[in-house]
Amino acid sequence: MTSLSRPVAIVGVGYSELSRRSRPDPRALTLTACRTALADAGLAPRDVDAIVQFTHASDSTEAPITAYVQRALGIDNLSFFADLARTGPSGVGPPMTAVMAVASGVCETALAYRTLPQAEGNNGGLRESPAEIGGPTQFTAVYGHAAGILANYALKKRRRMHEFGHTAQEYGYIAINARRWAALNERAVMRQPLTMDDYLSARTIVDPLVLLDCDYPVNGSCAVLVTTAERARDLRHRPVLVDAMSWGTGRGSDFVFGADLLYGGSIPCAENLWRQSRFTPADLDVLGLYDGFTHLPISWIEALGICGFGEFADWVDGGRVIGPGGTLPLNTSGGMLAEGRIQGIGHVAETTEQLRGSCGARQVSGASVAVVAGGGSNDSGAMTLYVE
Amino acid sequence: MDARPAPLPDEVSAPYWEAARDGVLVVQTCRSCGAGQFPPDLTCHRCLDEQLDFEAVSGVGQVYSYAIYTRSFDEAFDVPYALALVDLADRPEVRLMTNIVGTPLDAITVGMTVEVTFEQRGAWRLPQFRPAAGAA
């Protein structure tokens, strides 16, 4: 018998303001999110003994590292910390890592955050290539694979439409759904409704990817607080328990050259998740699926077995299934497409609020089981959450 | 002057770029299990063998997917241009990134048969793909 396993719960969530306002201090955003999560749980900084965060660039000077947050919150020592960088299921990675740390017994209460200055991941600017390109991008950048993430999702969208004989309309259901939910979320930055005509006439970014396929960059931070299920019982909110988790990469793990361009690691991730879970897709009440691009919730819904491969367009019933009042609401905050790009940790926070019943106007009645997924290419990660 | 970047080969990729410079498309192939792979690497990703050769292929392929840049994200590249993933006909396990050239962009389709052609880039030549001669 090992001590390295015990039940874990999410007990607090916090956000900074999400905005396009120019250059708020990322440290201030982070501390606001972290302090709000602590207050939400009814915990003090001295109760925290672990901090985890994620940035895409290991040398990012924008988001503060865990040591800064520790100092600024006056925490004497950390039993666990990790500054995750470069790859992983983005903002879903820190909460998942925090859950593992607490479950392992290394620490008791872990703070997970993701802070995004608007500039990070903003691919709109014109860049200039060096004269020669070596390393992994010598096989891509020489072909003008500029702002490559945008081209990657254009390539996925074109291939999906070809493979299943669908039109761009199925992607439109995701874009429209984000705005429908965002209209109910005062924190969201894009709350104007969208029509299918709006979607289908949106400006091309890299054909066939259009502007409304892409999430909306904001300055913001979100934090999630994780502790033992035992401790969670004494805190402010109904504990949201972690049922199961998995990461997934797929074979030939690579965003472009990996074996499965359409689903990446989301299929093996979902398979491993359901192997461990006490639930099945039929038990799900609400979905929090990474939506940096409209392709991703569609591929996650199919990878998770919620509908068959290529069947999303039929399953979603014109968007009714996933919208307000639908049978399986998706991204009830508006997600990254409409609440703003905080890269997945917002899905963890929103799903937590749904399960404990604190979502106000957008509360899904009786929600008790949910799945949250981050990334969706070779950077997949997913967790199932529930309340007793 | 062409401001588009040229490849900077390394020890592993040099045979690929040297063959392309000579107008031959090669695929890194495992001496032990025969698997091809792209990009070239230190080991075979299928059987982990380290004995890898570069074998010439026909240069015929099929467009797996493509994207059209209609606005520039890199000023060295004139828009519009087509970025594509091409699966090689005689090595279906190998998918390359490339540009589709020599055709109106609106004539490109997923699944169309293409063949390699080479484009000067600095001191090197890039494998590019154009509609295959005689292909529908």
Whole-angstrom Cα Rg for chain B: 15
The confidence score (pLDDT) of residue A159 equals: 98
The confidence score (pLDDT) of residue A119 equals: 65
Nearest to A144 among B7, B95, B99 (CB): B99
The confidence score (pLDDT) of residue A56 equals: 81
State pLDDT tens for residues B4-29: 999 999 999 999 999 999 999 999 99
Q: What are phi and psi of A19, to 5 degrees?
A: -155, 165
Distances in whole angstroms, Cα of residue A176 to Cα of each of A303, B3, B102: 22, 41, 38
State pLDDT tens for residues B103-129: 999 999 999 999 999 999 999 999 999
Q: Do B74 and A208 touch (CB under 8 A)?
A: no
Q: What is the pLDDT along chain A (388 residues), one digit of tens a residue?
A: 455 689 999 999 999 999 987 789 999 999 999 999 999 999 999 999 999 999 887 555 688 999 999 999 999 999 999 999 888 999 999 999 999 999 999 999 999 999 998 766 555 566 777 889 999 999 999 999 988 999 999 999 999 999 999 999 999 999 999 999 999 999 999 999 999 999 999 999 999 999 999 999 999 999 999 999 999 999 999 999 999 999 999 999 999 999 999 999 999 999 999 999 999 999 999 999 999 999 999 999 999 999 999 999 999 999 999 999 999 999 999 999 999 999 999 999 999 999 999 999 999 999 999 999 999 999 999 999 999 9
Q: Do B65 and A130 touch (CB under 8 A)?
A: no
What is the CATH number assigned to the segment(s) A8-119+217-232? Answer: 3.40.47.10
Query: What is the Cα–Cα distance from A142 to B16, expressed in whole angstroms?
Result: 14
DSSP-derived pairing of the beta strands A369-374 and A380-386: antiparallel
What is the CATH number assigned to the segment(s) A149-216+243-388? Answer: 3.40.47.10
A137: closest CA of chain B, how far (Å): 9
Residues A316/A170, Cβ–Cβ less than 8 Å:
yes
State pLDDT tens for residues B59-74: 999 999 999 999 989 9
* Equal fold, A8-119+217-232 vs A149-216+243-388: yes
Q: Give B-chain residues touching A150 at CB under 8 angstroms.
A: 73
Residue of chain A minimizing CA distance to B125:
A142
Sign of CA dihedral B19, B23, B28, B31: negative
The confidence score (pLDDT) of residue A4 equals: 64
Q: Give A-chain residues touching B64 at CB under 8 angstroms.
A: 159, 261
Q: Measuring CA to CA, which residue among A112, A75, A120, A83 is closest to residue A95?
A: A112
Predicted complex ipTM? 0.97
Q: Do A155 and B66 touch (CB under 8 A)?
A: yes
CA angle A8, A14, A17 (to 5 degrees): 160
Structure tokens at A243: 């049922």
Sign of CA dihedral B122, B127, B129, B132: positive
The confidence score (pLDDT) of residue B82 equals: 98
* Spatial CB neighbours of A22, under 8 Å, sequence gap ≥ 6: none
Q: Give B-chain residues touching A139 at CB under 8 angstroms.
A: 7, 13, 38-39, 96-97
CA angle A171, B96, A56 (to 5 degrees): 60
Chain A contact residues (CB < 8 Å to B) = 123, 125-136, 138-147, 150-151, 154-156, 158-159, 162, 204-209, 252, 256-257, 261
B63: closest CA of chain A, how far (Å): 10
A274: part of which helix (H) or strand (E)?
A: helix A266-276
Scan residues 57-116 of B and list those with Cβ closer than 8 Å to A. 64-77, 81, 83, 85, 95-99, 110-111
The confidence score (pLDDT) of residue B19 equals: 98
The confidence score (pLDDT) of residue A125 equals: 63
- pTM reported for the whole predicted model: 0.96
The confidence score (pLDDT) of residue A117 equals: 83
Query: What is the Cα–Cα distance from B129 to B115, expressed in whole angstroms?
Result: 5
Q: HSE-up of A268 (CA within 13 Å, CB side)?
A: 15
Q: Do A147 and B13 touch (CB under 8 A)?
A: no
Is the bond leading into B127 cis (omega within 30 degrees of zero)?
A: no
Residues B25/B127, Cβ–Cβ less than 8 Å:
yes
A126: closest CA of chain B, how far (Å): 5
> Where are chain A's structural domains?
8-119+217-232, 149-216+243-388
- Count CB neighbours of A280 within 10 A: 10
Q: Give B-chain residues touching A156 at CB under 8 angstroms.
A: 65
Q: Measuring CA to CA, which residue among A267, A338, A332, A335 is closest to residue A306?
A: A267
Structure tokens at A145: 């694979």
* Residue in the structure block whose two tokens are 């048969």: B113
Structure tokens at A164: 């299943």
Q: Do B126 and A142 touch (CB under 8 A)?
A: yes
Q: Measuring CA to CA, which residue among B84, B89, B97 is closest to residue B39?
A: B97
Query: Alpha-carbon dihedral of residues A320, A325, A328, A331, nearest 10 degrees?
Result: 90
Identify the three-state secondary structure at position B54.
strand
